[in-house]
Every structure is written in structure tokens, then in C-alpha cells.
Amino acid sequence: MVLEVTPLNEPLGAVVHGWEPHASLSNRDVDVIRGGLRAHAVLVFRGHARPTDDQLVRFAETFGDLVKGSEWFGDIAPKPEILRVNNLIDDDGVAQGTGASDSLEWHSDYSYVHTVGKESFLEAVEVPSVKPPKTYFCSQYDAFDRLPAALADKLRGLRAHHSITNYAAGGKRRPHEGTRNGEDFRDDFQAKRARNRELGIERPDIPEAEHPVILQHPDTGRDILYVSRGITRRIVGMTKDESDDLLKELAAHSTPPECVYGHEWRVGDMIMFDTLGTLHRRDAWDPSERRVMRQMSTLWTPPAETGASPQ
């Protein structure tokens, strides 16, 4: 295959043509992709045949061990590495995937675990026909580089607590049959746990974790600002007011409109992004409209967490 990487006229991102999901990546292919990711942080693979689950997992595994995210969210899936992100429900009224049709706040995938997300992959299987939601990306390299020197020095000694509790925004509209709007993320999760208990299936609890506010990316060697509005709950060692004020300041600093790329999905798009070096969020959509995505992430243990037991 011959991969072509074309930068977008956006604050970050590039389009990749030429990927052949049925074929193994050569060393040159891997170098092109890694180089594109270092340069652009977000790669939109477009124009290829739809990959099977096996092909998608094989592609992602080229870049590292994969998180078995579907297990944390109580899903029953043939490929636990693939997290189903959708608003569908099964015949028993249990959510088939996670996320429903709510908006999702700025976050970095799996920042709430000790082995955090490093690269992420998100593929569009179905998108709503009416007002399809965008996914937005911003660079946390850029966010760090724009910090005032005194604030950067202050942040280097700090750690933050990350948790996905109450992450979903919470929809208010009643969904049509076969879809789900996520009126209560915890209800969806508890329904899956109840079903799994009946089936004798054990799933691990969703963890929480602490990480440095400033991380050095293991591939680029660059510093990144590692907090998000959606998942970072508090700065360790600060009062609630102090922590809330600082996190609010950092969230606004990271995501000014001129630093954000909003991706308009086409069916078949597969985005690979530097989940350590970016934040992303998504719009809500009409819960009567189906949106079906496949998501995966590689994992990495930050140096400060070495020796800690993954949860």
C-alpha cells in the first residue's frame, strides 16, 4: 500500500489515503503513520474498505497493547479491545454500547486508569442523517507551550485525580424504540452489571487514578498538559475552591475556538489520534437517530505510576 498524508487547513489534523485494512502494515507504513501522528496529532483515514473487527484490532495492535475497555463498561463483546460507542439498546432494554446520545465533555481516553490511553482509534459505522454530531480535538502540546512560565512551574509539582463518575451529560429527551439517550449513565451501567450477574459473567470495576498535571509524552519527548474538563475531578492537595478555579482556568486555556478542529464524520472514517497529546469531545444528537462507532486505545503506564497495580 502507498499511504498519503495530507495536512488539513485546521489547527491540527491530516487526512490519510491508501490504507488497505486487509494488508499488514510494512515498517515503512508504520513510520509514515507514526510520523504523521507526531506532526499532526489527529489522522483521518478515509477512502478504504470497511475493516472487520479482526482487521481493526490487528491495525491498532501494531502501535501497542490495547485496553480491554468493553469489560470495564460491562459489555459482552467478541473483541473486548473494541469498545462499542453507540446509543442502541437490545431486546431487553439494556444498552448495547456506552455513551448514548449525550454530549461528552473534553477528555483524554482512559485518563482515569493507571495504564492510560496513549493512542486512540475511533471509526464511524453509522452516523445520524440529521445534524450528525461532530467530534472536536485540541492539542495539549500547544496548551502546555502557551502556559505562562510561572504557571507551568507551579503545575509541574502537582497531581490530579481522574474519575469517569458522572461523566455523561445526561439527556432529557425520551428516545425512540431501539435507541438510548443516556438519561442516567449509572442506570445503563447497573443494568449491564445486573445482566452479567444473571449470566455469571464477572467484569472489573471502573477505576480511578491520579496522574501528574504535566506529563512528558513517551514518543515525542514533549511536555503535555494532562487535565480535562470532563474527567479531572480535583488537584490533589488543594482546597475544593482552589482546585475548581485552577481546573476551570486550565480548561479554558486548552480549548479556545481558534485551537480546535471539529471533525465532520463520514461513514467509514477511522480517526487515529494522540490521546495523550490531545483532548476531544463530541456533540449530542437526536436520540431517535442511530450513531454506531468502534473505539480502541493503546495503553501506557506513566513513569510516576510504575509499580502500581493496574485496576
CATH number of the domain enclosing 34 = 3.60.130.10
- Which residue's entry shows cell 496513549? 118
What per-residue confidence (pLDDT) applies to 88? 84
In a domain, 270, yes or no: yes
User: Can you list the residues of the chain whose pLDDT is less than 50?
Assistant: 168-177, 182-184, 305-311
* Residue range 126-171, pLDDT digits in tens: 999 999 999 999 999 999 999 999 999 999 999 999 998 765 433 3
Containing domain of residue 150, as a range?
4-305
CA distance 79 to 54: 8
Q: Which three cell numbers stand for residue 210?
A: 491520579
Beta pairing partners, 139: 278
DSSP state of 8: -
CA distance 99 to 181: 8
What per-residue confidence (pLDDT) applies to 273? 98
CA distance 218 to 256: 26
What per-residue confidence (pLDDT) applies to 260? 98
CA distance 243 to 227: 12
Report yes or no: 181 and 101 within 8 Å, Cβ to Cβ.
yes
Residue from 12, 4, 58 nearest 32 by CA? 4
In a domain, 311, yes or no: no
Length of the chain: 311
CA distance 141 to 285: 30
What per-residue confidence (pLDDT) applies to 310? 34
What per-residue confidence (pLDDT) applies to 199? 64
Q: Please state whether the predicted TM-score (pTM) of the whole model is above 0.75.
A: yes
In a domain, 217, yes or no: yes
CA distance 80 to 72: 10
Report the amino acid identity of residue 282: R
Edge-to-edge strands of the sheet including 260-263?
Answer: 104-107, 278-282, 135-139, 260-263
The residues, any chain, with a CB within 8 Å of residue 94's CB and separated by 6 or more, are 188, 191, 192, 195
CA distance 41 to 141: 9
In a domain, 310, yes or no: no
Question: Count of domains in the chain?
Answer: 1
In a domain, 86, yes or no: yes
